[in-house]
Every structure is written in structure tokens, then in C-alpha cells.
Amino acid sequence: MQNTRNLLVVIDPKHNDSPALKRAKQIADQTKAHLHLLIADKNHDHLALLDLLKEGLVESGYSVSTECAWHGSEHETIIHAQQAHNCGLVIKQHLPENPIKALLLTPEDWKLLRACPCPVLIAKHSRPWEGGVVLAAVDVGNTEPEHRQLHESIVDSGFNIASLIKGELHVVSAFPPPMLATVDAVYPIVTDYEASYRAACKEFQRTSDISDSRLHIEQGPPDVIIPLLAHKLNAVVTVLGTVARTGLSGALIGNTAESVIDAVETDVLVIKPQDRIQQLEADLNAKI
């Protein structure tokens, strides 16, 4: 995040107090990044609002550009702008979907998380970040190369944010109960599964420089454990990874990041493994 030069800030014209813009300003204060403000609107009804926001930000010393655009859907509009302006981070306010509607249609935020080739910061609150706890969630039991690389990126991003806000990084890893572990091909059937998992966490600690007091190993589903621990630590940001499942597999299996977003009370940074990012960018280039 500290090396990100262009931030894409999605503005919701229906909400005057934008948590997304607040976070973007906070990051830009430390990194001097350029802010590109986007309103996804097919009718271009909010150009005056963008001009007003830009004027105030420029007067405060920020580098700013604006855009009002529409490319078929909200998430496609956001990704189009991210690619066109080479933005390394998308910042968007989270607006929960109606539960019944979410059962029938994939929420736009979920589509964005699956398809966007750069990290996405979902802004959920306006509490100050300064001096707060950053919670990074990893699945230490999954040793597949793609996931191991993702774990490193999650922890690096967590350290990055903690340094930016002069806060403290904590790491959580949730392991399944023995009954669930036996039916998951990723996890071997062992006599003492918890001991095996904790041993893997020790190796993770050694390579990631995480102290005992900041590593939380909990038994249970991650979409339950992560929100509970984030609340207990009064975290301000939760860092998650996703392999960005799409289509039928995404619908049937689900993504932990998507399940956690509605449940946590923190802002959420979602990142992907590098090979998945490259595939998404290749797919986008193929459409041009």
C-alpha cells in the first residue's frame, strides 16, 4: 500500500460522508498517492459533485482526477477505470445488500472482489485507523503453493498497513474441528490434529516474524472466528485473501472473504495470489 501511486476511490453520491474517501485521504497523506474519484453512473448526473469534491481536495493539497462513467455494471465500471488509470488499489464503501436479493443475485461487491485484478479496500466504518490493530487472516493448514504465496502477501500487507498507521499487526488462523478435517483433502487425518496444526503455525511464525502474543490459533469456521476475534481486538482493518472463485464453483463453495465482509465491523482489505491477478489481467486484455 505504501508503494501504491494511484488510488481509485469509488464515490457513492447517495452518501455524503464517504468512508472510502476518508480512507483514501488517510493513505494519500502518508504515501502522496494520486486520487482518482469515480462515480459509476450511466446518466452522468453527478458531475457537479465530482467537481466540488475535486476542488476541495486540490485546495487541501491532494493530487486528484475525476470520472463519471458506466460500462454495463458497477463492478465492470470500477475495473475498467482501475485498468485505464493503472490504479494499484480500489477503495469502495460497503453497502450491504438486501438479504433476500443477495440469495438471488450475486452482490456487486462480491463480483468486484472476484474480478478486480488489484487489491480492494472495503470501507465499512469511520473510526480512526491511527494506532489501531490490523488483523491478518491466513489458513496455515493449506500448504498449496498458491495459498502459501497468498499467505505471505496477506502478512506483508498487514505489516504494511500497521506501519502506515503506527498500529499493531495480529494474525489469526482458524482450523477445522477433527470431523471436518477428515473430509477436507487439504488437511491430513492425524491422531492429534490440533497439535499438527499448531506445529505448522510455529513454522509460519518463524518465517513471518509473528510473536506468540500476536498469533491467534482458533478452532472453528473462519467466517465465524475472524469476525469474533476482530471484535475482541477492536481491530480497525482485517486483511483477507481470496482465490477469487467465479461461476458455479464460487456459488457452491463460496469464498471466505465474501462471507466475512458483512460480518466484521472493520474495514476489509482483500488481496489475491499473483498468478490469479495475472490471469484476470490476461482475461481483461483479451476483451479489448
Q: Write out pLDDT tens, residues 60-99.
A: 999 999 999 999 999 999 999 999 999 999 999 987 665 5
User: Where do the structural domains in the chain lie, given as residue ranges?
Assistant: 6-93, 133-280
- In DSSP terms, which residues pair with 66 in a beta bridge? 37
Decide whether 6-93 matches 133-280 in CATH topology.
yes
User: 44: which residues sit within 8 A by CB, 6+ positions away?
Assistant: 68
* Distance from C-alpha of 164 to C-alpha of 133, rounded to nearest angstrom: 12
What pLDDT is stored for residue 193 in this prediction? 64
pLDDT at 190: 47
pTM of the predicted structure, to 2 decimals: 0.87
Helix H or strand E segment including 238? strand 237-241
CATH number given to 133-280: 3.40.50.12370
Count CB neighbours of 56 within 10 A: 11
Instruction: Give the integer Cα–Cα distance in Å for 135 and 169.
Output: 6
List of the chain residues with pLDDT < 70:
1-2, 96-106, 142-143, 145, 176-194, 244-255, 288
Tell me: domain 6-93, CATH 3.40.50.620, correct? yes
CA distance 284 to 125: 31
Q: What is the pLDDT of residue 179?
A: 53
How does pLDDT run across 251-269, given as a tens digit for each residue? 333 467 777 888 899 999 9
Phi-psi category of residue 105: left, alpha or beta, with phi > 0 → left and psi -120 to 50 → alpha:
beta
Instruction: Supply the pLDDT for residue 36.
Output: 98
The whole-angstrom separation of Cα 48 and Cα 111 is 29
